[in-house]
Amino acid sequence: MQPKYHVITFGCQMNKNDSERMETLLKKVGLESTNEKDQADVILVNTCSVRQSAEDRVFGLIRKFEPLKEKNPKLIIGITGCMPGRDRDQTFKKKMPIVDLYFPTAEMGQLPRWLGELRPELVNSEDTVEDYMKLKPEYHSKRQAFVSIQTGCNKFCTYCVVPFARGLEKNRPLADILEEIRELAAHGCVEVTLLGQTVNSYRAPDPESFSDENPYENHFAGLLWEVNQITGITRLHYTAPHPLHMNDEIIDAMTLPAHLNFIHLPVHAGDDDVLRKMNRRYTANQFLEVIDRLRAKIPDLAIGTDMIVGFCGETEEAFQKTVELFKTVSFDISYTAQYSVRSGTAAWRAFEDDVSIEEKKRRWDVMQKLMEETVFEKNQKYVGEIVSVLVDRHAPPKVTDEMLKMPEKIQELMAAQPGLCYGNSREMKLVRFEGEADVVGEIVDVRVTRADKWVLIGDRV
């Protein structure tokens, strides 16, 4: 019987992309995937450390694996991702004694050797991979893909563990990125999202790989142009850029045909003192100036952001400046986090976490309410408009208890009704319409008839 693995992923899109690479490696050495944890010979958990709650989930999950380990002592349990990356003194590892493998993402390529040392019968090869980014991911969607263009970060925002968990910024060769995307397009992919911690700071280690006719000097703008030349890629997006690197060439490249009409640009706070303590390297006015340049070039651009409330020393006055900045920009979506102390960061060493849990929650509630009101209002402009949607899932008609009480013929007729199709528009708005499962993976036009907070509802044109 072929040995099996089960991968669990927490955190961001980059973690998901890393897990896809790990799956490629596991399949290459002879393992197959299973959704059943109790059937797995190897369970690997790809972890996130962005907040304490993310790490707590991992500790809780490992405790749940204890019965599996007792039942099958040969079961290999591994932890990778951001937790091992920042756990320099193995403090976290000591809390998880049943864990057999504990390694940062960059060491993923050693998995064949480690598995072979623990259970040689599981693998058909112990050949290691020096650079895990050279692995082609085991993509779970044919039509959409996340493509990492860099790992690590040089910014050292005082609240963030990424430079400690993933190391300093390392950019993939342009030739490797374009080869991966061309292969994706050849197999039917139409939408690519470029990933990086500060994705728009990308510098190609092989600038000679840019086309002679590429009009841009900025390497990230040049990368966007190159992807636009790849036949089949009609939807292009990237996340997450840093405001510091959002120059005019990148903004111009966002007007190229494939680019989605959306940008997610984290701001985190609207008060200059808080931004300085966060080491974000820009002021609120400088962020607003970037927004002005984006909207001058792309007037109908949808804009999302990230916010942190309750950071060290954030007064009520400082918080109100964040509220005002949100109102000024009128974001299409915002992901607000309550500040969570991360051991090892500069904020943990230098500042007092002096905003109470209750006050953080109150400020989160204020931002959430403002965001929901703003999003609902902004979404109304789409009513009556036609939006282009890449359908990514289908929900069949629900058979309720009441339907089961009806005559069999009526049950059949009701069950035969179209289900609901879901996908994102080019503004990254979730869209829902009635349709059949065979449109999943297709790009269709939908006329919006109603707009809620989180979804545009309409009919296929």
SS3 call for 393:
strand
Q: Residues 364, 390: one domain?
A: no
Exposed, middle or buried, 378 (CB in 10 Å: 0-12/13-18/19+)? middle
Q: Residues 289, 329: one domain?
A: yes
Q: Residues 419, 293: one domain?
A: no
Find the angle CA(61)-CA(11)-CA(230) to the nearest 5 degrees: 140
Are 457 and 389 in contact by the 8 Å Cβ rule? The answer is no
Find the angle CA(298)-CA(301)-CA(306) to the nearest 5 degrees: 130
CATH number at residue 412: 2.40.50.140
What residues does 388 pair with on adjacent strands? 445
Residue 178 CA to residue 176 CA, distance in Å, equals 6
Q: Residues 142, 123: one domain?
A: no
Return the HEC string of 303-342: EEEEEEECCCCCCHHHHHHHHHHHHHHCCCEEEEEECCCC
How far is residue 85 CA from its own chain's centroid? 19
- How much is the pLDDT for 412? 58
Residue that is written with structure tokens 């040995």 in the block = 3
- How much is the pLDDT for 87? 87
Looking at residue 110, the DSSP 8-state letter turns out to be G
What residues does 459 pair with on adjacent strands? 447
Rounded mean pLDDT for each run of 10 residues along the chain, 461 residues in total: 94 91 94 95 94 90 94 96 90 94 94 95 92 86 94 95 91 97 96 97 98 98 98 97 98 98 98 98 98 98 98 98 98 96 93 97 98 97 98 81 60 65 97 94 97 96 94
Are 73 and 100 in contact by the 8 Å Cβ rule? The answer is no
Residue 226 CA to residue 386 CA, distance in Å, equals 29
Residue 329 CA to residue 48 CA, distance in Å, equals 30
Q: How many CB atoms lie within 10 A of CB 451?
A: 22
Q: Residues 242, 325: one domain?
A: yes
If one counts the domains in the chain, the total is 3
CATH number at residue 39: 3.40.50.12160
User: What residues make up the domain containing 398?
Assistant: 383-460
Q: Residues 119, 186: one domain?
A: no
- How much is the pLDDT for 406? 60
Q: Residues 337, 274: one domain?
A: yes
